[in-house]
């Protein structure tokens, strides 16, 4: 099922670019998760497809870690960007009409939002939210969940895809983080209220906030129970802590108002980014005025700074993307239906081949864990067959279906995927699963 495929190891143009990049960029990439071997480099993107430097075309399920919602180079977004380029560029003073309209849209669409600030990445947005939580409560500790990823900043850069011996204990994502910063972030288990309650008991009146991805898409797609999200709202209220939904991935993807619209729970703060601008670099933090007034821009003592915050090109892309989603609710109906089609199809194929899998996901996101039994939180994922997970994504990519070949990474369906695309994907998946079974990998 290769589409214009070169044989494995036969990517001369991609390899040449990688070697050239490695001479001037550490490791040849500007983010560590971008290097996965072949394909090394991409030269074109349009709609649901991307093309690598050696001419192979892929149906894209990676979607730039989910940033692409409407398809690559979506006309509605590109037209808005061109219009912004013809207007005022970056002033770095005052405010623009685009920034005002962006904030209006966010506060109209996200249920818990009264005000917002703009940032350029999800990591920056979370960093602002963490500072705000600690300032408002006067408390030291943040509480996150094993498997949740909230960016690269010191406050929460720990315990994501941990090995069994490091899960739940000290597991920093990077060297160079001060021990005090790591120790000030506590780790609980997703979908386990008792683990959260136990930490509140152990650190009374010391936890500033609980932060979570409502669906931890950085470990695939562990879907929360309604009891869990309701319980978090209750526990934080009872203990004087804030509740932060990190909707950098779930925001705007699963519903116009993010996952909080789906579950009906109102967090105190929301961070968002990725898909809000269909691939342009912009993010933000939103919440009630009583909390947002603490930023220094409003006379508070939480520093708000950033030359590129609310950049007109990115703001225009976000406005176009969010307006499209708001005015085209069939986007969610279509992507949810296609997501269910691929999840049901994968589960059926695995059952037919007698391969133990758990196909999970929500809306247009899907992941296939190679394990037997339900997946509630990270503890269940310790049983995942890493080699089979990576091998499935690797072989699907070699067959012309771009899926990030890293353990626990999810796949995304955009506005331009079709039923025919899903059916071709399922056909290729059957062949790949057969090959993995034949090779004794699963």
- Is the domain of 147 the same as that of 206? yes
Q: What is the pLDDT of residue 88?
A: 82
Q: How many domains does the chain have?
A: 2
- Is the domain of 163 the same as that of 307? yes
* pLDDT tier for residue 379 given thresholds of 50, 70 and 90: very high
pLDDT at 3 over 70: no
Sheet of 358-362, strands arranged across? 358-362, 365-369, 411-412
Distance CA(145)–CA(200), nearest Å, equals 14
Over range 350-354, report the average pLDDT.
97
- Is the domain of 168 the same as that of 286? yes
Distance CA(324)–CA(318), nearest Å, equals 10
89 assigned to some structural domain: yes
* pLDDT tier for residue 9 given thresholds of 50, 70 and 90: low
| Contact criterion met (CB below 8 Å) for 363 and 253 | yes
Distance CA(367)–CA(357), nearest Å, equals 10
1 assigned to some structural domain: no
- Is the domain of 397 the same as that of 301? no
Strand duo 57-60 + 115-119: pairing? unpaired
Give pLDDT tens digits for 179-207: 999 999 999 999 999 999 999 999 999 99
* pLDDT tier for residue 178 given thresholds of 50, 70 and 90: very high
pLDDT at 362 over 90: yes
Q: What is the pLDDT of residue 254?
A: 96
- Is the domain of 230 the same as that of 366? no
Q: How many C-beta atoms surround the C-beta of residue 437 within 10 A?
A: 15
pLDDT at 149 over 80: yes
Give pLDDT tens digits for 226-252: 999 999 999 999 999 999 999 999 999
Choose among 380, 341, 393: nearest CA to 363.
341
Q: What is the pLDDT of residue 151?
A: 94
pLDDT, greater one: 141 or 92: 141
pLDDT at 212 over 70: yes
pLDDT at 363 over 50: yes
62 assigned to some structural domain: yes
- Is the domain of 154 the same as that of 58? no
- Is the domain of 368 the same as that of 400? yes
pLDDT at 7 over 50: no
- Is the domain of 185 the same as that of 157? yes
Choose among 371, 358, 357, 364: nearest CA to 342.
364
CA dihedral 181, 184, 190, 193 (to 10 degrees): 180
230 assigned to some structural domain: yes
250 assigned to some structural domain: yes
Over range 307-331, report the average pLDDT.
96
DSSP string, 291-321: HHTTBGGGT-SB----TTTT-HHHHHHHHHH
419-438 and 330-352 are packed helices; what angle lies between their axes, rounded to 10 degrees? 30
Domain boundary among 301, 327, 353: 327
286 assigned to some structural domain: yes
pLDDT at 112 over 50: yes
Distance CA(303)–CA(336), nearest Å, equals 39
- Tokens 């296939």 -> residue: 368
With b for 16 or more beta-carbon neighbours within 10 A and e for fewer, the 175-189 pattern comes to eebeeeebebbbbbb
- Is the domain of 95 the same as that of 238? yes
Over range 352-368, report the average pLDDT.
97
pLDDT at 97 over 50: yes
Domain boundary among 327, 360, 382: 327
Over range 272-296, report the average pLDDT.
97
Domain boundary among 327, 348, 383: 327
pLDDT at 8 over 60: no
pLDDT at 5 over 80: no
Over range 125-131, report the average pLDDT.
97
Residue 107 DSSP class:
H
Instruction: Give me the percent of the chain exceeding a pLDDT of 70.
Output: 98
| Contact criterion met (CB below 8 Å) for 247 and 258 | yes
Over range 57-62, report the average pLDDT.
98
pLDDT at 1 over 50: no
- Is the domain of 38 the same as that of 140? no
Residues near 146 by beta carbon (within 8 Å), at least 6 away in sequence: 159, 162, 167, 168, 187, 188, 189, 190, 377, 378, 379
CATH code of the domain in which 185 resides: 3.40.640.10
Tell me which residue range forms the domain holding 315.
75-327
Average pLDDT of the chain to the nearest whole number: 95
Task: Output the CA torsion sign for 298, 300, 302, 305.
Answer: positive
Intra-chain end-to-end CA distance of the chain, in Å: 20
CATH code of the domain in which 26 resides: 3.90.1150.10
pLDDT at 313 over 80: yes
Give pLDDT tens digits for 391-442: 999 999 999 999 999 999 999 999 999 999 999 999 999 999 999 999 999 9
7 assigned to some structural domain: no
pLDDT at 2 over 90: no
pLDDT at 300 over 80: yes
pLDDT at 225 over 80: yes
Query: Would you state the structure tokens that stand for residue 170, as one six-digit string?
Result: 């000290």
Question: 265: helix, coil or strand?
Answer: coil
Q: What is the pLDDT of residue 10?
A: 79
- Is the domain of 347 the same as that of 415? yes
Query: Would you state the structure tokens that stand for residue 99, as one six-digit string?
Result: 């920034």
- Is the domain of 320 the same as that of 338? no
173 assigned to some structural domain: yes
Distance CA(57)–CA(167), nearest Å, equals 38
Q: What is the pLDDT of residue 92?
A: 87
């Amino acid at each position: 099922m290769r589409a214009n495929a070169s044989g494995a190891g036969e990517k001369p143009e991609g390899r040449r670019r990688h070697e050239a990049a490695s001479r001037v960029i550490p490791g040849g990439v500007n983010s560590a998760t971008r290097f996965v071997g072949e394909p090394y480099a991409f030269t074109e993107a349009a709609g649901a497809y991307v093309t690598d430097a050696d001419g192979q075309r892929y149906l894209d399920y990676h979607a730039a870690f989910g940033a692409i919602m409407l398809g690559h180079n979506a006309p509605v977004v590109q037209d808005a960007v061109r219009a912004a380029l013809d207007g005022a560029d970056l002033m770095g003073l005052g405010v623009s009409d685009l920034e005002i309209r962006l904030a209006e849209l966010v506060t109209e669409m996200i249920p818990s939002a009264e005000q917002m600030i703009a940032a350029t990445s999800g990591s920056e947005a979370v960093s602002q939210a963490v500072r705000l939580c600690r300032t408002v409560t006067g408390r030291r500790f943040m509480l996150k969940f094993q498997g949740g990823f909230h960016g690269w900043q010191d406050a929460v850069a720990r315990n994501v895809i941990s090995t069994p011996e490091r899960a739940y204990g000290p597991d920093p994502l990077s060297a160079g983080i001060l021990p005090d910063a790591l120790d000030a972030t506590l780790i609980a288990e997703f979908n386990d209220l008792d683990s959260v309650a136990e930490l509140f008991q152990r650190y009374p009146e010391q936890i500033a906030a609980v932060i979570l991805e409502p669906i931890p898409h950085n470990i695939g797609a562990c879907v929360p129970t309604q009891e869990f999200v309701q319980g978090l709202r209750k526990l934080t209220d009872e203990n004087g802590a804030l509740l932060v939904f990190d909707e950098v991935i779930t925001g705007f993807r699963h519903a116009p108002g993010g996952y909080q619209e789906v579950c009906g729970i109102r967090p105190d703060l929301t961070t968002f980014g990725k898909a809000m601008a269909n691939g342009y670099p912009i993010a933000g933090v939103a919440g009630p005025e009583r909390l947002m007034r603490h930023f220094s821009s409003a006379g508070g003592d939480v520093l708000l700074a950033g030359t590129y915050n609310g950049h007109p090109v990115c703001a225009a892309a976000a406005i176009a993307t969010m307006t499209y989603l708001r005015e085209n609710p069939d986007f969610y109906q279509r992507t949810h239906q296609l997501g269910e089609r691929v999840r049901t199809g994968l589960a059926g194929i695995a059952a037919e081949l007698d391969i133990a899998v758990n196909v999970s996901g929500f809306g247009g996101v899907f992941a296939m864990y190679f394990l037997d039994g339900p997946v509630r939180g990270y503890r269940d994922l310790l049983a995942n067959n890493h080699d089979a997970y990576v091998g499935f994504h690797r072989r699907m990519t070699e067959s012309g279906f771009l899926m990030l070949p890293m353990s626990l990474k999810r796949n995304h369906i955009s506005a331009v995927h079709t039923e025919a695309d899903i059916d071709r994907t399922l056909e290729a998946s059957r062949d790949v699963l057969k090959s993995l079974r034949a090779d004794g990998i699963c």
